[in-house]
Structure 1
Amino acid sequence: MNEGGIGSSLKRREDVRHLHGRGKFAADIKIVGMQDVAFVRSPVAHARLLSVTKPDSASHRVFTFHDLTDVKPLTTPITTPGYQHSECPVLATEKLRFVGEPIAACVAASRALAEDLADAVVVDFEELPPVPSADRALAADAPLIHDSWKDNRFVELLREDDFSNIEGQAPIRVEVEAELSRQTIHPLEGRAIVAHWDHNASQLVLAMSTQIPHPIRQGVADILGIPESMVRVAPPDIGGGFGYKLQLLPEELAVAWLALTFKSAFRWIEDRREHLVAGANTRQAKYRLTGYATPQGRLLGLDADIVIDNGAYSVWPFTAALEGYSARSNLPGPYDLKCYRAKVTVVATNKPGFCPYRGIARVGTCLAMETLIDAIARAVGREACEVRAENLVPPEAMPFTDVTGKHFDIGNYPETLRTAREMIGLDQFRAQAKDRQKDRGQLLTGIGFATFYEQTANGPSFYAPWNMPIVPGYDQATVKLAPDGTLEVRMGLQGFGQGIETSLAQVASTHTGIHPDNIRVRLGDTEDTPHSIGSFTSRSIVVGAGAIENAAKIVVERIKAVAASLMQVDKSTIELSDGSARSGAASITLRELARIFYHRANQLPAEVEAGSLEATAGYKPPVESGIFAYGTHAVKVALNLTTGQVDILDYVIVEDCGQMVNPMIVKGQTIGGAAQGIGTALFEESPYDESGQPLASTLLDYLLPGANEVPRFRIAHIENKSPHTSFGIKGVGESGCIPPAAALANAINDALSGTGALVSTLPITPARVLAELEKAKAETRT
């Protein structure tokens, strides 16, 4: 492979501008006459909206739903039987459904003045009984959040299976519960939009912090009632996404409407309090599992009841069904079992809508499943690591179709477990258990494992069951040899911190022999990039590499044809490397070739075809259920019986993401994801009180892991290249964050073994640990 191509730990090109303060984010954009927007928001969780009174002196700068007469509500109708779709108004109309819901948009020369104006708006409402939790929402006497619904269920998803064929084989029955608390997402940059009218192009231009520019263009056009060609989404630099920037928010539509209506520039930058209170929430779900196993611990059947607290609205475009479908589909994980039955209930409550977050549903499914495996091991009196290994899909079974119909392309799941077991030193740890038991005092130690898969780059059929407003298809790439000999790559994918500009340049370099330094990558802008569904579900490098390969092949053949004519050699003898076309001792630089092709046509031999040195080609993963990365996390913890404090002593990660395009970037993605997983496991929570009021509205209340809480990870890779992708690449963006919660929960419960205590609710805070210890003591006394 050429220097800087696939497999090289090339420094991220994005870092040059970011580390020197030269990046350009939405907040950096300056347009003459631009005004800032602040929102009047609901102070209550559930109420009838009676009136909104604008201040007389500034009524022309305050806008309510009465002003947005031609704007449609955000809707996500889908074809799933029984699904009840919500209509989310851009500004609240008859009802308020969560604290922070936008009621009015206020415009002023600065954000501070706009907020002062918002304070002067008077909102009159009649409070209704709140529905602050899934349990309350499912009660027979629960108030309806959406008056036209029959109950507070968005949807109930069922999967039935015949368990009769395992009767008598699985006498061990184990029940577990696992609960994830509500979280917010916290990218470094919150939501942001600068909208203005381009008079020259007659276009509404949206500089948005988004992961899905092309779908956003479609959504804005549909909801504002204008042709899609009249909307340009031109993302600047994006300060992180993690799924939060996969949706279209009412605030963004209100700002777009202002720019379209007044043909001027408007800006909204989400602040951290807005993010905590009104931004889309995530993760909150409760899993109740029953496993049916043999006396040796072989899991044969799985029965699941899953309840997801979705909040008040279905977010556009992924719908309220996404988390539910993903939970039902992914729960069995990397395990080979015969029977699987599930009920998933997606519930509406008086909270912000549920947003996709890094590792959609798989953090919860991994937690629940790995907790069950450990519980089965305890029930049969065996080491959990051994029971886990015996239940994993073995490498000789690959390719393997699991109980839900997923196609595992290639891999050795038990090998990652064996490697993690050796690296964490489980056998030595168990051998020293008696000595530690004697001397442990108030400090307990434990080791936990979690084996997982990451379903990357899903095909259209993954989304087909609920027929969401946008279903992905082919992603296209445009590759062009420019007149100066550089290579231009354009894709509708979006970078937001994952290093995709660098990685795609490396892919293009490998195919063309042009060094990444001489490759320009242009992403996201709907005006000059081919269509893409966007960047999420660890799809960007898989579809990006595939599309670039297909387009580059066409361009390379054209370059070779021109070079062969210029050098008077056979085209089949030409190779591209180090920025030149070579045939034996003869060569021509691509810079010179491009100069002749574009600027000295008279020097071109007559036989050269008139086709350009530019091509657009598409790619979609040939396996509809996705390309599967996977691995095992192992963690050693110390738990203080007096304080309930959990400290991470060692953390091991073993993963297989196929061919690593850039090992340094893969490592960064893995570490960042694992840090987020630790946040989910031990710190992050957005609680609500009985009236539906959020109790974590600042970063004093909402805990994020910092440098002191994140350990030094030890990482190992094994490599099984996918047979279905360019160079065998698999996605890696979500791998790091999926298993930490499960591994930590199992490690903590391993430490607690012998006390009778068991933790099952995330985050595992000192207070929850102490409560479970006290509960165990009380049960012992009785």
Structure 2
Amino acid sequence: MGHPGDVKQIKPQGIGARVQRKEDARHLHGKGNFVADMTMPGLSEVAFTRSPLAHARITNIRIPPTLAGQIFERRDLVGALDIAADSSLPTYQSSVQSPLASGKVRFVGEAVLMSCAPTRAEAEDLLEQAEVDYQELPVYADIHTAAQAQSDLMHEGWKDNIFVTLSADKRFDELSAKADVVVHRKMSLARQCQVPLEGKAVLAYWDHPANQLVVVSATQVPHLIRTALAQYLQLDQGQLRVISPDVGGAFGYKCILQPEELCVAWLAKTYRKPFRYVEDRREHLIAGANTREHYYEMTAYADKRGRLLALDAKITIDGGAYSVWPFTIGIEPGQAVGNLPGPYAFEGYRCVTRCVATNKPGFVPYRGVARTGVCFAMELTLNAIAQEVGREPWEIRVENLVQPEQMPYLNVANKYFDSGDYPASVRRALEMIDLKAIRSRQEVGESDGRLVGFGIATYTEQSAHGTSVFAAWGMPIVPGFDQAMVRLTPDGGLDIRVGVHSHGQGMETTFAQIANEVLGIDVSRTRVIHGDTGQTPYSSGTYASRSLVMSGGAVSQACKKLIPQILKIGAHLLEADVASVHFEDGCVKTASAHVTIDQVANAWYLNPQRLPTDVDPAGLEATVGYKPKVDTGAFSYATHAAVVAIDPRMGSVEILDYVVVEDCGVVVNPMVVEGQTIGGVAQGIGTALYEEMPYDTFGQPLASTLADYTMPGATEVPNIRIDHIETPSPHTEFGAKGMGEGGAIAPPAAIFGAVNDALRKLGGRIEVNQTPLTPRRLLEAINHAKQQTARGDV
């Protein structure tokens, strides 16, 4: 026992503290454990032959008889089923993807043959001895040719090449008829790759003592992968254990079942030996070009001041060749039609979204899932309204945003905004960027002939959305409660087990901070176990900015569940009545004495003779399932503002200043939030200015190396200044909202707004509206406007 003055005072480590990330030490010292780091006796490396054609029938495969058992085609994978990404959405047409192509190939890079050997180089050499013959089919390299096709469709049994069509219509005719101003714009976003530092990686082996297939995969969703592999390898889930070790970035690329995971798992199941596949960079760029390609036709109806009354939108998404398991292609158009209205309070809405199948890799969720595209389209449309009515873009936003007194607010697309002050984020961003000084600078002009422009974008980020939302998207797997298990160790430390998995989010730190907030245990004495279906409670995984809210909420609730037992044991040790003690700073206290949580744990585990006779035999551990009170998600929001300088002679764009004002509710660790935001903004800058996977008319990818696929580096990303507004969510544990995707949503809209603002100095109506904004595209827009002016078209 001790006295209150004996309690060691430590630096705050709970919610709101800038605690250094626990996981950084091992990564900075090269102590991480990634799939490519692992070694096992008898390990074979796996390689694939990938299709050189975008659309063709496989007419013949010739494998030398001497290489049987070393080279595999689809018919060799006995017991492995094809991946079917089914959905209950109306109009949805289901696609089936074989682990190795069967019958025909549907994109350049699709795996056709698989080999294994002691080294990757040897496996690739073996594949050189096999031959595949193809009969070419018509190639649908873009949405227009694909949508018009009537024969040789992407998938047998389909009526056309449209995956799914979704629509919304709410008071559109009524409210659009009242408009004084109508603006029409077209915008598009290029196809991108996610390009995590670590690509796909999977190692599988048979655990003979456990009689279990163990799959070690760089995945965001280990429990979902176990479910999928059990289904497609026809095993009981108890015969499968999926381990996700350190994961080198993911961004959505690793939240689906990969065909390579199924192939490697089949090898280990069949041969009872270890096999590994690690994707190389060229494979990723060719077979992973799978996101962001959206096309928008927007017509907005507003009053004379620019108040938006109604919006008519036609959205077309290039979905590639296959729908992915489990999220399906339906999530992208579903997010598009549902999130296009963003944070704005208008009431007339008509939207039709089509997802078209083309001869490109299947579309995979990417950080921001559709919201980068809808933010781009919505914000450029608002800029067009502002120009039409002669007002500042920020003024239009402030008037059109949902106002704080309207919260909670159900918007035109049935999104439930629980809390926040959206206009405040705009005003704060204007203060930080100093718009008045920018406008003065524009009047004076730049000595080097460049043009300066200002852009602003506001968005909402739907985070931690749950069962009802995913069920409405028709998914075969729907998330429910996330569970966390907490257990005091005999010396008073804490083990936390969660089913989500980190690929850079800092969960080992933030979950320890949440536990510290409740139990007062030092974060250095808290261990977070995740990424292993054999050791953790079930979760559908890490995606959709859900982990901190869902699993973090479960950690908080589980820690709270321990306190009554701690109080009971502590009171007994203090020889006090339970009603006379309280729990504070990791101690059970009376007015004059205390026992520490370490002493309570010691009694339970090592000295049970000191326990009360009626102690709860459940012990010092608890498992709790959690999801927010409102299932539709907690909406974060932010405003991004950018200042750019463009060179109208060279077509270059430099970002001079960039600010973010964000509100993700109660911030657990501001340093982690800011790191996530900066990383997201860097990806958004890539979307805006650099990243593109173009295809020719034959469906051939034209950027198969990082010499061709351009990404922003340290010199292209400015010093990003971040400010926080903190509006607690009334529906989540400790008021938190998710924010992991937000940084990547607004940059294209803010940067393009700034470029278009700068271009107005040249006169006429020059606008750019297609990502990425390369020098060629910028110069083409300038020259086109000059030609229009010369002809008198403007």
Task: State the TM bucket, normalised to the shorter chain.
Answer: over 0.9
Q: Does 1:233 align with 2:253?
A: no
Change (3 A) 1:171 1:603: same
Deviations 1:456-480 (A, max 9, x none): 1001111122321110100000011
Task: Kindly report which structure 2 residues correspond to 1:547-696, keeping only aligned pairs within 5 A, or say none.
Answer: 547-696=554-703
1:257-304 deviation per Cα after TM superposition (whole angstroms, max 9, x unaligned): 000001110000011111100125110010111000001100010000
Moved more, 371-380 or 417-426: 417-426
Q: Does the 8 A contact of 2:410 with 2:416 survive in 1?
A: yes
Q: Hey, what's the Cα distance between the residues in 2 that align with 1:645 and 1:769? A: 8
Determine if contact 1:3/1:515 at 8 Å carries over to the other structure.
no
* Structure 2 unaligned regions, length at least 5: 1-9
Distance in 2 (alpha carbons) for counterparts of 1:727 and 1:126:
60
Moved more, 675-684 or 719-728: 719-728
In the alignment, is the contact (CA less than 8 A) between 2:170 and 2:347 conserved in 1?
Answer: no
Other structure's SS at 1:123 match? strand
| Match status 1:69 vs 2:71 | no
Specify whether residues 752 and 440 from structure 1 end up closer, same or farther in structure 2 by C-alpha distance, changes over 3 A only: farther
Distance 1:575 1:34 in 2: 56
Does structure 1 conserve the Cα–Cα contact (< 8 Å) formed by 2:639 and 2:661?
yes
Aligned counterparts of 1:590 and 1:686: Cα–Cα separation in 2: 56
Return closer, same or farther for 1:715/1:662 CA change in 2, 3 Å cut-off. Answer: same
Distance in 2 of aligned mates of 1:575 and 1:603: 20
Q: Identify the match of residue 123 of structure 1 among 110, 121, 132.
A: 132
Code of the aligned partner of 1:228: Q
Q: Are the structure 2 counterparts of residues 432 and 62 from structure 1 closer, same or farther at C-alpha, using a change threshold of 3 Å?
A: closer
| Cα distance change of structure 1 residues 524 and 574 upon mapping to structure 2, 3 Å threshold | farther
**Cα pair 2:170 2:412 within 8 Å, conserved:** no
Match of 2:489 in 1: 482
2:514 corresponds to which of 504, 507, 511: 507
Amino acid at match of 2:466: G
Residue aligned with 2:734, SS = helix
Query: 1:736 maps to what in 2?
Result: 743
After TM superposition, give the deviation of residue 545 of structure 1 in Å.
2.1
- The one-letter amino acid paired with 1:662 is N
1:291 pairs with 277, 284, 300, which one?
300
TM-score (norm 1): 0.98
Q: Which of 768, 774, 784 lines up with 1:765 in the alignment?
A: 774
- Secondary structure of the residue aligned to 1:66 is helix
- SS at structure 1 position matched to 2:686: helix
Determine if the alignment matches structure 1 residue 260 to structure 2 residue 290: no
Instruction: State the Cα deviation string for residues 473-523 of structure 1 (Å, max 9, x = none).
Output: 000000111122111110001011110110000001111111111111111
Aligned with 1:182 (options 191, 210, 230): 191
Structure 1 window deviating more from structure 2 (686-695 vs 600-609): it is 600-609
Question: In terms of mean alpha carbon deviation, does 565-574 or 683-692 score higher?
Answer: 565-574
Show structure 1 runs of 4+ deviating over 6 A: none
CA distance in 2, matches of 1:386, 1:426: 12
- For 2:213, the equivalent position in structure 1 comes to 204
Q: How far apart in 2 are the matches of 1:665 and 1:622? A: 25
Written as runs of structure 1 = structure 2, the 5 A alignment for 1:140-539 is 140-141=149-150, 143-279=152-288, 281-436=290-445, 442-539=449-546
Q: Deviations over 1:632-663 (max 9, x none)?
A: 00000000011100000111111111111011
Query: What's the CA shift string for 1:24-81, capped at 9, x where partnerless?
Result: 0001111110100000110100000012211333222011111113211111111111
Q: CA deviation at 1:568?
A: 1.4
Separation in structure 2 between the aligned mates of residue 574 and residue 516 of structure 1, nearest angstrom: 25
**Higher mean C-alpha displacement, 464-473 vs 314-323:** 464-473
Q: Distance in 1 between matches of 2:213 and 2:149?
A: 47
Q: Do the aligned residues in 1 keep the contact of 2:628 with 2:733 (CA within 8 Å)?
A: no
Contact map agreement 1:565 1:607 (CA 8 A) in 2: no
SS in 2 for 1:267: strand
Deviation, 1:143, is 3.8
Identity %: 49
What amino acid is the match of 2:758?
A: A
- Provide, for residues 402-445 of structure 1, a one-character-per-residue CA deviation record: whole Å limited to 9, x for no partner: 00111100000000000111211112322443322xx6673111
1:612 Cα deviation from its structure 2 partner? 1.3
TM-aligned CA deviation for residue 394 of structure 1: 0.5
- The 1-side partners of 2:600 and 2:420 are apart by 44
Deviations 1:545-577 (A, max 9, x none): 211122112111111111111211122443444
Cα contact 1:137–1:143 (8 A) shared by 2: no
CA contact (8 A) 2:641 2:660 kept: yes
Matched residue type, 1:367: F
Q: Which residue number corresponds to residue 6 of structure 2?
A: none
Report whether the alignment pairs 1:699 with 2:713: no
User: What is the rounded CA distance, in whole Å, between the counterparts of 1:574 and 1:543 in structure 2?
Assistant: 31
Alignment-mate amino acid for residue 413 of structure 1: Y
Secondary structure of 2:128 counterpart = helix
Amino acid at match of 2:108: V
Instruction: State the secondary structure of the residue aligned to 2:75.
Output: coil
- Mapped partners of 1:734, 1:82: distance in 2: 29
Match of 1:31 among 16, 35, 40: 40
The more displaced of 622-631 and 194-203 is 622-631
Amino acid at match of 1:761: Q
Question: What residue ranges of structure 1 are gaps of 5+ in the alignment?
Answer: none
Aligned-partner SS, 1:226: coil
Do residues 59 (structure 1) and 68 (structure 2) align? yes
In 2, Cα distance between equivalents of 1:574 and 1:304: 61
The residue that corresponds to 2:729 in the other structure is 722
- Report how far residue 607 of structure 1 moved: 3.0
For 2:453 and 2:176, how far apart are their aligned partners in 1? 35
Contact (CA 8 Å) 1:62, 1:104: kept in 2 or not? yes
- Aligned match of 2:24 in 9, 15, 22? 15
Helix, strand or coil: the match of 1:698?
coil
How far has the Cα of 1:382 moved from its partner? 1.0
Name the structure 1 match of 2:59.
50
Residue 160 of structure 1 aligns to a residue in which SS? Answer: strand
Q: CA RMSD in A?
A: 1.3
User: Aligned to 1:744, what secondary structure does the other structure show?
Assistant: helix
Quote the offset at 1:524 in angstroms: 2.0
- How far apart are the structure 1 equivalents of 2:103 and 2:176? 54
- 2:97 aligns with one of 73, 88, 95: 88
Deviation of 1:380 after TM superposition, in Å, equals: 0.8
For residues 95-134 of structure 1, the aligned pairs below 5 Å read: 95-134=104-143
| 3-state secondary structure, aligned to 1:158 | strand
Distance in 1 of aligned mates of 2:464 and 2:312: 28
Cα-to-partner distance string for 1:282-335 (whole Å, 9 max, x where unaligned): 100101110000011000100000000010000111001110000000000000
- Secondary structure of the corresponding residue to residue 660 of structure 2: strand
CA contact (8 A) 2:322 2:362 kept: yes
Distance apart, 1:168 and its partner CA: 4.7
